[in-house]
Chains A and B, each alone.
Chain A
Amino acid sequence: MSLQDELTQLRDQALGEIAATADLKALNQVRVNWLGKKGPLTEVLRGMKDLTPEERPVVGALANEVRDALTEAIATRQTNLEAAALNEKLAAETLDVTLPGRATAQGQPHVLQQIIESLEDQFLGMGYQVIEGPEVEQDKYNFEMMNLPKDHPARDMQDTFYITPEILMRTQTSPVQARTLESHDFNAGPLKMVSPGRVYRRDTDDATHSHQFHQMEGLVIDKHITMRDLKGTLLAVARNLFGEDHDIRLRPSYFPFTEPSVEVDVSWNAVTPDMNPEDIEWIEVLGAGMVHPNVLRMAGVDPEVYGGFAFGLGPDRFAMLKYGVEDIRNFYLNDVRFLTQFDQKG
Chain B
Amino acid sequence: MKVSVNWLRDYLPIELPANELAEKISRTTVEIEGQYQPQANMKNIVIAKVLSVEEHPDSDHMVITQVDAGEDEPIQIVTGAPNVAEGQTVILAKHNSIVGGGQKIKKGKLRGVVSNGMLAALQELGFDDKVSPKDFEDGIWVFNDVDAADLTPGENALHVLGMDDDVLETGITPNRADLFSMNGTAWEVAAILSEEPTLPTFELTETSEKTADLISATAPAELAPKYGLRVVKNVEVKDSPLWLQRRLWTMGIRPISNVVDVTNLMLLTYGQPLHAFDLDTLPSKDITVRTAKPAEKIKTLDGVEREASAEDIVIAAGDEALMFAGVMGGESTEVTAKTTNIVLEGAIFEPKAIRHAARDQNLHSEASTRFERGVNVEDTFTALDHAAALIAEIAGGEVTEGRVVAQDFDYEAPVVKVTTAHVNHVLGTEITEAEISAIFDRLFFDYELNDGEFTVTVPARRWDITIAADLVEEIARLYGYDNLPATLPTGETTPGKLTPKQALIRATRHDLEGLGLNQAISYVLTTPEKANNFKLHDGQPIQLDYPMSQDRQQTRGSLLTGLLDDVAYNVARKQADVALYEQGRVFVSNGDASVLPTEIEHVAGVITGNVLPRTWAAGAQKADFFALKGIVERLLANYAFADDIRFVPTTERAEMHPGRTADIYVGETLIGFVGQVHPVTAKTYKVNETYAFELNVDAIFDLPKVKDGYEVVSRFPAVARDLAILVDRDVPAADLRAAIVAAGGALLHDVELFDVYTGENVADDKKSLAYALTFVDVEKTLVDEDINAAVERITAALAEKFNAEIR
A interface residues, Cβ below 8 angstroms from B: 99-100, 102-110, 112-113, 117, 120, 123-130, 132, 134-138, 151-154, 157, 161-164, 166-167, 169, 189-190, 192, 198, 200, 202-204, 211-212, 220, 222-229, 231-233, 235-236, 249-254, 256, 259-263, 290, 292-293, 307, 331-337, 339-340
Contact = CB atoms under 8 A, between A and B. Distances in A.
B592 to A, nearest CB: 10
B597 to A, nearest CB: 5
B176 interface: yes
B497 A129 contact: yes
B520 A236 contact: no
A162 B544 contact: yes
Given A102-B617, A252-B27, 7 more contacts: A107-B512, A127-B494, A252-B30, A260-B469, A262-B481, A307-B426, A335-B569
B12 interface: no
B752 to A, nearest CB: 22
Nearest to B171: A253
Contact of B611 (A105, A109, A154): A105
Nearest to A255: B173
A263 B488 contact: no
Nearest to B487: A232
A25 B246 CA distance: 112
A222 B615 contact: no
B26 A228 contact: no
B544 A169 contact: yes
B200 interface: no
B516 A136 contact: no
A45 B615 CA distance: 68
Contacts of B173: 253-254
30 contacts: A99-B616, A99-B617, A102-B615, A105-B612, A106-B513, A108-B519, A109-B519, A110-B519, A113-B509, A113-B519, A117-B506, A128-B496, A135-B587, A162-B545, A163-B593, A190-B494, A192-B496, A211-B525, A212-B524, A224-B490, A229-B487, A231-B484, A252-B30, A253-B30, A254-B173, A293-B467, A293-B469, A307-B426, A334-B569, A334-B580
A190 B584 CA distance: 29
B31 A107 contact: no
Contacts of B175: 254
A107 B599 contact: no
A123 B473 contact: no
B807 interface: no
Contacts of B487: 226, 228-229, 231-232
Nearest to A260: B473
Using C-beta atoms within 8 Å of the partner chain, give the interface range for chain B: 35 or more
Given A151-B352, A252-B473, A124 B496 contact: yes
Interface string B453-481: 00000000000000101101100110001
B603 interface: no
A299 to B, nearest CB: 16
B406 to A, nearest CB: 25
Given A134-B596, A211-B548, A226-B425, A153 B373 contact: yes
A249 B481 contact: yes
Name the residue in A100, A104, A204, A227 with the highest tally of chain B Cβ atoms < 10 Å from its Cβ.
A227
A125 B30 CA distance: 35
B510 to A, nearest CB: 8
Contacts of B356: 151
B613 interface: yes
Given A136-B597, A153-B372, A227 B484 contact: yes
B493 A105 contact: no
Contact of A236 (B469, B488, B495, B516): B488
Contact of B428 (A226, A249, A262, A292): A226
B272 interface: no
Given A162-B545, A202-B548, A226-B428, A107 B514 contact: yes
Interface string B579-607: 11100110100000110110100000000
B578 interface: yes
Interface in B335-384: 351-352, 355-356, 372-373
Contacts of A123: 496
A162 B513 contact: no
A256 B467 CA distance: 13
A166 B545 CA distance: 11
Interface string B617-633: 11001000000000000
Given A235-B486, A290-B469, A227 B427 contact: yes
Nearest to B615: A103
B472 A260 contact: yes
A252 B477 contact: yes
Contacts of A100: 615-616
Nearest to B172: A254
Contacts of B174: 152-154, 157, 254, 256
A223 B491 contact: yes
Contacts of B355: 151, 153
Contacts of A127: 493-496
A107 B546 contact: no
A151 B311 CA distance: 13
B502 interface: yes
B519 A225 contact: no
A179 B654 CA distance: 39
A337 B548 contact: no
B594 to A, nearest CB: 7
A332 B496 contact: no
A227 B467 CA distance: 18
Given A100-B615, A130-B502, A198-B524, A163 B542 contact: yes
B520 A334 contact: yes
Interface in B527-585: 542-549, 552, 555, 566, 569-570, 573, 575, 577-581, 584-585
A224 B612 CA distance: 57
Contacts of B616: 99-100
B566 A107 contact: no
A251 B489 contact: no
B178 to A, nearest CB: 13
B489 A259 contact: no
A190 B491 contact: yes
Nearest to B553: A161
Given A231-B485, A252-B473, A105 B525 contact: no
Contacts of A226: 425-429, 487
